[in-house]
Amino acid sequence: MGDLTRHRARDDAPMVSPSSTTGLVEVFRRRHLLGLLVRTTMKSRYQGTLLGWAWSYLQPAVRFCLFYFLFQVMIGRGAETTPNFAIHLFAGMVIIHFFTETFNGGTQSLVANRSLIIKLAMPKELFPVARMLVALWHTGPMMVILVIACVATGWRPDMVGLGAGLLGFAVTMSLGLAVGLTFAVANVYFRDFGKVAQTLTQFVTFSVPMMYPYTLVAERFGETGAHYYLFNPMAEAVLLIQRCFWTGSTDDPAATAAAHLPDDLWSRGFVMLGATLLLLLLAQLLFARLEKGVPERL
């Protein structure tokens, strides 16, 4: 038996509140548990399917082919104004999908894990964070398909572009986690927030320059319109991703970037990262205040 190895708290260890946690910091200390939650969430996702994880490649591949035939072959959209429109659209979709999955998954995460939360003590931030990591994992297959399409059209990775992509993902990650945390706990109090999250994510799809080029915004709403349009962190993130993949896939990357991206793309990007990190901090503070009431309301 394990008697000899039996662990004992030291007599001089301080008495602590058994429910105290340090929030997100503690989540990253408990990586083993976080890893298990990520794996089990993904497992139940493809449960009962014959193809299993192959679906995560099939779905985006089919979607990309559809876009390609619809927009580039059939409609021939934007051959001169927006070259490689399918990549323009798909690059945006990769990051928007990451955001909406983090947002919606995070919102449902506490309610979905009710049976664990009402019986066992653990930092509840674990659940929204696990959903974000699952969403991040799911962008992997989409990335693979995006890169294949990009390489086929002459794209080669450049350091500046990769930096833009990373910055875009960092902004999306902190914003997604911030809204995920907030809505997760709000959804426990009023399930209406789940519906609100779904509605908002639909709105997000149209509020970013992927189904239409960014130039269209300035064209229709003027300089001031475009200025306010870019206050949306996801619009900024999509432009950063397009700097990473789309501009490089066109015949004249420099010209495309000059024509289709705002001049202050980078400075805006860093300001957005700061702003979304601040939002994340506020979300964590709100979560810590409200999570006390979660087990009894589930």
Partner 1 sequence: MSTVISVEHATKSFTMHYHRSLKQIALAKARGRQTSDTFNAVEDVSFTVGQGESVGLMGLNGSGKSTLLKLISGVMQPDSGSVLTRGRIAGLIATGAGFDLQLSGRDNLWLNAAILGMSRAETARKLDEIVEFADLGKFLDTPVTYYSSGMKARLGFAVAIHVDADIFIADEALAVGDRPFKRKCKQKMEEIVAQGTTMFYVSHAPGSVRKLCNRVLVLEQGRLGFDGGVEEGIHYLHYDDDDEDTQTADDGLGVDI
Please return the burial class of 122, using the count of CB atoms within 10 Å of its CB with bins 0-12, 13-18 and 19+: middle
Cβ 167 to partner 1, closest distance in Å?
33
Tokens of residue 121, six digits: 């003590």
Cβ 18 to partner 1, closest distance in Å?
3
Identify which of 45, 70, 66 has the alpha carbon closest to the alpha carbon of residue 55. 45
**CB closer to partner 1, 117 vs 265:** 117
Identify residue 222 by its one-letter amino acid code: G
CA distance 247 to 241: 9
Q: Specify the length of the chain in residues.
A: 298
Cβ 190 to partner 1, closest distance in Å?
8
**CB closer to partner 1, 43 vs 220:** 43
Contact criterion met (CB below 8 Å) for 246 and 146: no
CA distance 52 to 59: 12
Cβ 273 to partner 1, closest distance in Å?
32
> Who contacts 20 (Cβ-Cβ below 8 Å, separation ≥6)?
none
Cβ 160 to partner 1, closest distance in Å?
40
CA distance 163 to 160: 5
Cβ 202 to partner 1, closest distance in Å?
23
Contact criterion met (CB below 8 Å) for 290 and 189: yes
Q: How far is CA 9 from CA 12, 13, 15, 17, in A?
A: 8, 7, 11, 15
**CB closer to partner 1, 1 vs 73:** 1
**CB closer to partner 1, 190 vs 231:** 190
**CB closer to partner 1, 33 vs 259:** 33
> Who contacts 276 (Cβ-Cβ below 8 Å, separation ≥6)?
171, 174, 175, 178, 233
Cβ 11 to partner 1, closest distance in Å?
5
Per CB under 8 A, residues contacting partner 1 are 2-3, 5-9, 11, 13-20, 30, 32-33, 36-37, 40, 43-44, 47, 113, 115-122, 292, 295-296
**CB closer to partner 1, 118 vs 162:** 118
